A and B are shown apart, each in its own frame.
Chain A
Amino acid sequence: DAGVIQSPRHEVTEMGQEVTLRCKPISGHNSLFWYRQTMMRGLELLIYFNNNVPIDDSGMPEDRFSAKMPNASFSTLKIQPSEPRDSAVYFCASSPVAQETQYFGPGTRLLVL
């Protein structure tokens, strides 16, 4: 298995632009997680899905952030409009079920200028 796949690996954009991050979980995994990591705040859970349904989105910073999981093999995290403070590494992880071992993708390094 290829593991969790994220794209793009790097993204540089200007403030105000829309950013879409993509994630393909490991096949057969029912839980998918989106994390953000910054130097100031460390690793934070943004949202997670069980069987494509959002379970907890209390970590989503504000309405500019939205996440979807239209099917079991694909999820997106969208930021619209982006701001410089959104610059971070965004990780996607999947697990067979929510409480089991999570497998992390390589991350998307986002820089908003």
Chain B
Amino acid sequence: ETGVTQTPRHLVMGMTNKKSLKCEQHLGHNAMYWYKQSAKKPLELMFVYNFKEQTENNSVPSRFSPECPNSSHLFLHLHTLQPEDSALYLCASRPGQGARQETQYFGPGTRLLVL
């Protein structure tokens, strides 16, 4: 248990649906991340937020829309997804900057299936 929670844990959606993934941490961390983990592929960084500001968008399609209303919450809004978007979506948080602050702590993930 790392203190990073994600809901829902599983999600099935059609290509025309709109849904949102939620990530929450009350660890006092300053940075939050979304990653995509697909079978037989390396972990893909999607978005990074530092102090609620987006600092990284790793060429992610616009059908994925992140939102960070405060340092403790991160959302990933999904709309008109494709079957190839089916994957495990992982949220992570990081305490701050500097050697001992840069460890990332991961949530359990949301398993997404797009039909």
A interacts with B: no
Report B's interface with A, CB cutoff 8 A: none
